[in-house]
A and B are shown apart, each in its own frame.
Chain A
Amino acid sequence: MIVLLAVTAAALAASLLADRRKTLAGVRKGLAMFLSVLPALAGVLAGVSLLLAAVTPAMFRDVLGGSGPIPFVVALLVGSVALMPGFIAYPLAAVLRANGASDPVLAAFLTTLMMVGVATLPVEARFLGWRIALWRNTLAFVGAVAVAIGMAAVLG
């Protein structure tokens, strides 16, 4: 994140030195994009906050730690719907593993978490349109299943 801010600051400074009017146009464009998605994004994030708060880590642990196909399916579904920053998802995954969740189940959870965003669909659709957003998420879900199956084959 610090890198991102540094790069942005450097780019902005270089751009200002090179051409002030062009820079202003660019900043204005970026700002307009940001403001146009902010309401949808705020709604989505608040909705996910409300949903996630209803699910406790203990519930997660009990379901995902079991054996058979059920933890797998739950991991795929929860990962698809949930939205979680990586600095929370990975520690959680480590806890789940310590409680008996297998690596393929963890891969299913993490991959859908990262690649599939059911909750963020309204935001994605604002950028890419519903058609692309729905197709991309559907295929990403299939891809996550493939990755998880591959993990089962590779790591046993």
Chain B
Amino acid sequence: MSGGRPRRLWPARLAPWVLPAVALALWAGSAASGSWDYGRRVGANLGEFAIEMASFLPAMFLLVGLFDVWVPRATIERHLGRGSGVAGVFWVVLLATLQAGPLYAAFPVAVALWRKGCTPANVFIYLGAFSALKVPMLTFEVGFLGWRFSLARTALSLPVFVVLGYLLERLLPAGLELPGAGGATRG
């Protein structure tokens, strides 16, 4: 967060909380009336999301913060930056597959990698692998849909998002800056 950012007016600050308030009100209404199905389902969904968010995000952000202060830019540049080639792709895919959690938990990591000199293509490949190739999720997928489905989907997805990663990098102007949602430094 840049220090000189002006404070927003309170209506703008409250706006994001309108939907959570509505959802909570609906849930409370159904709990009070005891029979309203829609409100009950809203509450159940919100609860699931809240648990998912609470179980992954704080740890993820903590790790990103530590990553930011400890890992030297040169290390990331050497292994994931320009000229890192296939090895760079291998490392970001490995990093992503060992993680778990919703895709939005990967965005802070993506920002941190980008700022430390990882190529945009590798950042996008990381996000692709995070969304489609996480090992904890794969075990789940095999359990419910079988290894044939899982194997075929994985084998097809990997080349697709590697290609998309490079394509996306070419679509963007060189030296594009990230807004980065505060925090991470460039050092």
**Distance (Å) between the CB of A7 and the closest chain B CB?**
7
Task: Count residues of chain B with CB under 8 A from any CB of chain A.
Answer: 83
Categorize the interface residue count of chain A: 35 or more
Tell me, in angstroms, the Cα distance from A117 to B76 when the chains sit together: 28
Q: Is A124 a contact partner of B55 (Cβ separation < 8 A)?
A: no
Chain A residues with Cβ below 8 Å from B156 are 107, 146-147, 150-151, 154
Question: Interface code B92-135, partner A: CB below 8 Å = 1, 0 otherwise?
Answer: 00000001111110011011000000000000100110011010
Q: Is A1 a contact partner of B101 (Cβ separation < 8 A)?
A: yes
Q: Is B178 a contact partner of A4 (Cβ separation < 8 A)?
A: no
Q: Is B66 a contact partner of A15 (Cβ separation < 8 A)?
A: yes
Q: Is B16 a contact partner of A40 (Cβ separation < 8 A)?
A: yes
Which residues of B are at the interface with A, using a C-beta cutoff of 8 A?
A: 1, 13, 15-20, 22-24, 26, 38, 41-42, 44-46, 48-50, 52-53, 55-70, 99-104, 107-108, 110-111, 124, 127-128, 131-132, 134, 137, 140-141, 143-145, 148-149, 152-153, 156-157, 160-161, 164, 167-168, 171-172, 176, 178-185
Which residues of A are at the interface with B, using a C-beta cutoff of 8 A?
A: 1, 3-5, 7-8, 11-12, 15, 22-23, 25-34, 36-37, 39-43, 45-50, 52-54, 83, 85-88, 90-91, 93-94, 97, 103, 106-107, 110-111, 114-115, 117, 120, 123-129, 131-132, 135-136, 139-140, 142-143, 146-147, 150-151, 154-155
